[in-house]
Homo-oligomer: A and B are copies of this chain.
Amino acid sequence: MPVSKKEISPCPLDAALSIVDGRWKGTILWRLSQQPMRTSELRRSIPGITERMLIRHLQDLVRDGIIERIEELATPTRVRYQLTAYGLTLAPHLEALCAWGRIHLERTKPVNQK
């Protein structure tokens, strides 16, 4: 009988990566690790992301307890997203990966752009 990977042994690294597994989730978390942001601000800061994809990623991250949705007391209602206390425990690891990614981008940049 085929057994799914999850049924056998959940890999902790996979579990962590599954949180940021999404076209733009890493970028969203990176932005929110700098400061809380409104949906519209997030969207402007991530060129190319669609409204639908942004909302879906935000919902996933809220569901996973990494970010929270805060309704500001204003008219019209404004919503901002921020990392939860739990999400903040992930942030340093993402920052370390980001630093590595900077080196990696530099390393993989075409010679004529260096």
Complex CA gap A96/B97 in Å reads 10
Residues of B within 8 A of A5 (CB): 24, 47-49
**Which of A4-24 touch B at CB < 8 Å?**
4-5, 8-17, 19-21, 24
Interface status of A62 (Cβ within 8 A of chain B): no
Name the prevailing secondary structure of the A interface residues: helix
Asked if residues B3 and A27 are in contact (CB atoms below 8 Å), the reply is no
Are the CB atoms of A101 and B47 closer together than 8 Å? no
A contact residues, total (Cβ < 8 Å): 44
Write out the residue numbers on chain B whose beta carbons fall within 8 Å of the beta carbon of A20: 17
Copies of this chain present in the complex amount to 2
Given A13-B27, A26-B14; A97-B93 close (CB under 8 Å): yes
Listed residue (A13, A14, A21) with the most chain B CB atoms within 10 angstroms of its CB: A13
Of B14, B24, B96, the residue contacting A93 (CB under 8 A) is B96
Q: Which residues of A are at the interface with B, using a C-beta cutoff of 8 A?
A: 2-5, 8-17, 19-21, 24, 26-27, 29-30, 47-49, 65, 86, 89-90, 92-94, 96-105, 107-108
**15 further interface pairs, Cβ-Cβ under 8 Å (given A5-B48, A12-B98):** A3-B47, A3-B48, A11-B27, A12-B100, A12-B102, A13-B29, A13-B101, A15-B108, A16-B98, A16-B100, A16-B101, A16-B104, A17-B17, A17-B97, A65-B107
